[in-house]
Amino acid sequence: WAGPGSGPLEALISRKAAVLGGAVKDEDGNPVSGTVTLVPVPPRPGHPSLYPTATADEHGVFRFAALTPGTYQVYAWEEIEPTAHWDPRFMDRFATRAETVEVGESGHATVSLKRITAAAERGVLRSLPI
């Protein structure tokens, strides 16, 4: 624990986690592997547990099995740095590539994604101010 020694601590434990799954495809509609990231809507800086990642297998299939209920923007990447999706300046550049999904308590949702290529990501990284 690295926080201050006083103040309330809230913990929520529930059996009502949501499940999100789906498929990742390339520009030609073929299933591909990759990394799938979630960004809560609205963004919640300082809450890394609300920014999970999953791996799509060689068939493009991915699953988030114990997800905090809420609304998320879902992205698929050929490659991405582990915490890049925490940065709103970076993610704003890919907003048109997101699928928005809402999952309620004990809810299940499925989404189909087009993978963002490594070349597209590198182009954005070069354009960001340092």
- Predicted pLDDT of residue 44: 87
What would you report as the CA-atom Rg of the chain, rounded to the nearest whole angstrom?
A: 16
Match 């201050």 to its residue by tokens. 4
All residue ranges of the chain with pLDDT < 70 are 1-14, 128, 130
pLDDT digits over 10-23, tens only?
566 667 889 999 99
CA distance 115 to 127: 20
pTM: 0.84
Cβ proximity of 78 and 115 under 8 Å: yes
Count other C-beta atoms under 10 Å from residue 51's C-beta: 18
- Predicted pLDDT of residue 89: 84
